[in-house]
A = this chain, B = another copy of it.
Amino acid sequence: MSWTLTADAIGDLARGAAVLGTGGGGDPYIGSLLARQALAEHGPVTVVGLDEVPDDALVLTVAMMGAPTVMVEKLPSLDEVVAPVHALGTYLGRPVTHVACAEIGGVNSTIPVAAAAALGLPLLDADGMGRAFPELQMVLPTLYGVTASPLAFSDEKGNVGVLQTVDNHWTERIARVACVEMGCSVMISGFPMSGAVARDALVGGSLSHSLAIGSGIAEARLAKTDPVAATVERLAGREFFSGKVVDVERATTTGFARGRARIEAAGDVAALELSFQNEHLIAQSGDVTFATTPDLIIVLDAESGEPITTEGLRYGQRVRVVAAPSDPRWHTAEALAMVGPAYFGYDLPSHRFDGTPERQLVEAGA
């Protein structure tokens, strides 16, 4: 089913995407500004379901790469947003037919809207993760053998590059150092795939889902019901902690916003520690692990239910913390090797959103 995305829906879309972005993906407000500008200048965008994309479509993902802490200070222009798509189309020698989101998250769900509007192309109702992750190879298409490269990147100064690498880790490594040198935030376009492959490899319905979550929060507030409860229900997740942010450590290193946040509850309850690298990765309190990557850890404002990104965490905020299941494909052994706690340097097994440790995946011969 295809539908039309107009500027009116951008606020809800960005809000819902920031919920699924699990703290990452950049400030939803920043991306909204750009999407609204593009829709005002170029008209509405047609959003196409995965069931409708032709087998021979040429789909490219469009995203901002870099540290969210920098993104909020360096809003890209529409020229910068479309530059990598043009560069990649020229490199491939074929017309691009559809734009897709690499991830769902504040900036990275609205930047593709801006790109689709400015390019006059349809946008897929889908993304590569069903959430946000910090490194570019961390998408389900990697598990389907889709290569990130050729991948193009561009900055606000007008510099553009195209990479053709031997695997998706090398795309990440080279694009990341270029990104850091270019100011810690660049626009990228990559993961070229056919419509047939996109149908298998992407997470379908992400934009509709984001819109429903975002409008659900707004509607709950209007109806004076609990917006956090509305989100928990829609995600089939659970609220596991509420309290006050009492400490945030954050450093922008090697192109990422890395850090930890400490949240204290009232009464005799141990504090919650959240660890993040752009996105929230681990939620622990003392010996208790509430949830870990790849399941979603979401920090919401206690009253308004608005999602709070990792770079937006501040001392004194009253928050409620929610965990929710990720796309089930993230729980395969191959996927966990790519995005599980161990990859990020934590000596901890993956824990599902309900707090249970990931069932040990028995390897042949073990």
CB proximity to B under 8 Å, residues A68-92: 87, 91
Report B-chain residues with C-beta under 8 Å of the C-beta of A181. 173-174, 176-177
Note all chain B residues with C-beta closer than 8 A to A87: 164
Give the residues from 150 to 167 in chain A that come closer than 8 angstroms, CB to CB, to chain B. Answer: 157-166
Q: Residues of A within 8 Å of B, CB-based: how many? A: 21
Q: How far is the CB of A13 from chain B (nearest CB, A)?
A: 33
Q: Are A161 and B162 in contact (CB under 8 A)?
A: yes
> Which chain B positions have C-beta within 8 A of A180?
177
Whole-angstrom CA separation of A87 from B91 in the bound complex: 10
* Cβ contacts under 8 Å, A165 to chain B: 158-160
- Min CB gap A155→B, angstroms: 9
Q: Mark A158-195, 1 if CB is under 8 A from B, else 0.
A: 11111111100010011011101110000000000000
Complex CA gap A41/B152 in Å reads: 35
**Chain copies in the assembled complex:** 2
Chain B residues with Cβ under 8 A from A162's Cβ? 91, 161-162
By beta carbon, the residue of chain B nearest A154 is B164
Residue pair A174, B164 in contact (C-beta under 8 Å) = no
Interface pair B170/A164, CB less than 8 Å apart: no
- A160 CA / B163 CA spacing, docked (Å): 6
A158 / chain B contacts, CB cutoff of 8 Å:
165-166
Query: Are the CB atoms of B174 and A178 closer together than 8 Å?
Result: yes
Contact A170 B159, beta carbon cutoff 8 Å:
yes
Whole-angstrom distance between the Cβ of A40 and the nearest chain B Cβ: 28
Q: Give min CB distance, A82 to chain B, whole Å.
A: 15
From residue A189, how far is it (CB to closest CB) to chain B in Å? 14
A11 to chain B, nearest CB (A): 35
Q: Which residue of B has the minimal Cβ distance to A176?
A: B181
A324 to chain B minimum Cβ distance, whole angstroms, is: 35
Nearest chain-B residue to A83 (Cβ)? B164
Q: Give me the 4 closest cross-chain CB pairs, A-B, nearest first.
A: A177-B177, A177-B181, A158-B166, A159-B165
- What are 15 A-B contacts defined by CB distance under 8 Å? A157-B166, A157-B170, A159-B163, A159-B164, A159-B165, A160-B163, A161-B162, A161-B174, A162-B162, A174-B178, A174-B181, A176-B181, A177-B180, A177-B181, A178-B178
